[in-house]
């Protein structure tokens, strides 16, 4: 996901035929793949279809189920379209976070896009809190070039804007945000995700370029090669910090996963009104790598 080259981007397993399996069986399958996420799509019930859902999906890390994630949402929609289980165009995924809009191309080489409204609007961190968060990725307060933020669309993240040189130096420490004892009420998800990013000056305010590294210590993921939910929340932060326009639409392109040897490209668009983000769109390409069968645990 988020690449047009095999063996790059963020891998995803989409598992069909899991109807009737228990949550524990699904978790064990996800653990067997040991990817950042594995998804299990289902046909919606009649009630779910009436509510607008075209399909339902459960999303698992190797250890637990989560309500939403970006690259599983996009990769699952692409896979369902390729399998002929949904039609191209505007579709709605039902997951733990509710209905998520997806736009699926009729060309499997085209991008698939999700649209998400803010769940947690961007909120600036206190300087001391931002410095403490920076220490979890090998950085200090001197490496920060702007306020730190918390924000999210479906999942909430902590965001640290740094210089390009500091981005290269950032490293996971293995420690979690929860160990810091900070009062961060908007960080209500257990994965303690930290997105470190640098904004490149392009001379075109409506088309930003961003380089990012994303760390997820709460789920035991030292570094993630491409993170759709973090890309969505970043749109909220770009508006709140004044990097993106406070009125109208700003596009931004994120390069991620380069230091891991899995280069990824995420395309974002954020809509804003009166200085606040109102809707975010994140898209990317998908490349199939393998198909097969797996034993039932």
Please list the pLDDT of the chain residue by residue as tens digits (297 residues): 999 999 999 999 999 999 999 999 999 999 999 998 999 999 999 999 999 999 999 999 988 899 999 999 999 999 999 999 999 999 999 999 899 999 999 998 999 999 999 999 999 999 999 999 999 999 999 999 999 999 999 889 999 999 999 999 999 988 888 889 898 887 777 678 999 999 997 777 789 999 999 998 877 788 999 999 999 999 999 999 999 999 999 999 999 999 999 999 999 999 999 999 999 999 999 999 999 999 999
Q: Are 104 and 127 within one domain?
A: no
The DSSP symbol for 190 reads: T
Q: Are 164 and 106 within one domain?
A: no
Query: What's the confidence (pLDDT) of residue 185?
Result: 82
CA torsion 276→70→127→223, rounded to 10°? Answer: -160
| 264: its two tokens | 């990824």
| 200 membership: H or E segment, kind and range | strand 194-200
The number of domains in the chain is 2
CA distance 182 to 189: 14
Q: Are 50 and 195 within one domain?
A: no
Q: Are 35 and 79 within one domain?
A: yes
Query: What's the confidence (pLDDT) of residue 204?
Result: 78
Query: What's the confidence (pLDDT) of residue 202?
Result: 75
Q: Are 96 and 239 within one domain?
A: no
Query: What's the confidence (pLDDT) of residue 189?
Result: 74
Which one of 112, 140, 162 terminates a domain? Answer: 112
| 161: its two tokens | 């804007």
Q: Are 173 and 257 within one domain?
A: yes
User: Is residue 292 in some structural domain?
Assistant: no
Q: Are 50 and 192 within one domain?
A: no
Q: Are 100 and 146 within one domain?
A: no
Which one of 112, 138, 157 terminates a domain? Answer: 112
Residue 154 near residue 116 (C-beta atoms within 8 A): yes
CA distance 129 to 122: 15
Among 14, 1, 29, 9, which Cα is nearest to 85's?
14
Look up the domain containing 177 and give its range: 120-284
Axis crossing angle, helix 228-240 with helix 70-82, rounded to the nearest 10? 130
- Report how far Cα 150 is from the mean position of its chain's Cα atoms: 14
CATH number reported for the structural domain that contains residue 166 in this entry: 3.10.310.10
User: Is residue 30 in some structural domain?
Assistant: yes
Q: pTM to 2 decimals?
A: 0.93
Angle at CA of residue 107, ends 105 and 108, nearest 5°: 95
CA distance 284 to 245: 22
């Amino acid at each position: 996901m988020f690449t047009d080259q095999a063996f790059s981007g963020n891998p995803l397993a989409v598992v069909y035929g899991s109807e009737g399996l228990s949550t524990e069986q699904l978790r064990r399958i996800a653990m067997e793949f040991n990817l950042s996420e594995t998804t299990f799509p289902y046909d919606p019930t009649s009630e779910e279809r009436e509510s607008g859902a075209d399909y339902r999906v459960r999303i698992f890390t190797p250890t637990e189920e989560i309500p939403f994630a970006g690259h599983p949402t996009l990769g699952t929609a692409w896979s369902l379209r390729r399998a002929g289980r949904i039609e191209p165009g505007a579709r709605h995924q039902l997951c733990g976070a509710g209905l998520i809009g997806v736009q699926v191309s009729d060309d499997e080489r085209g991008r698939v896009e999700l649209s998400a409204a803010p769940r947690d609007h961007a909120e600036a961190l206190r300087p001391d809190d931002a410095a403490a968060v920076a220490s979890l990725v090998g950085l200090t307060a001197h490496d920060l070039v702007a306020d730190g933020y918390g924000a999210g669309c479906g999942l909430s993240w902590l965001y640290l804007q740094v210089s390009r040189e500091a981005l290269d130096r950032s490293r996971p420490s293995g420690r979690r945000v929860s160990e810091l004892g900070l009062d961060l009420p908007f960080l209500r998800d257990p994965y303690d995700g930290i997105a470190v990013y640098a904004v490149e000056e392009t001379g075109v305010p409506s088309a930003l370029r961003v380089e990012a590294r994303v760390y997820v210590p709460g789920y035991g993921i030292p570094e993630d090669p491409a993170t759709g939910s973090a890309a969505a929340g970043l749109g909220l932060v770009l508006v709140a910090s004044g990097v993106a326009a406070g009125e109208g639409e700003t596009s931004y392109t994120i390069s991620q996963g380069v230091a891991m040897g899995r280069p990824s490209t995420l395309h974002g668009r954020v809509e804003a009104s009166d200085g606040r983000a109102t809707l975010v769109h994140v898209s990317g390409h998908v490349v199939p790598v393998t198909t097969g069968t797996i034993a039932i645990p």
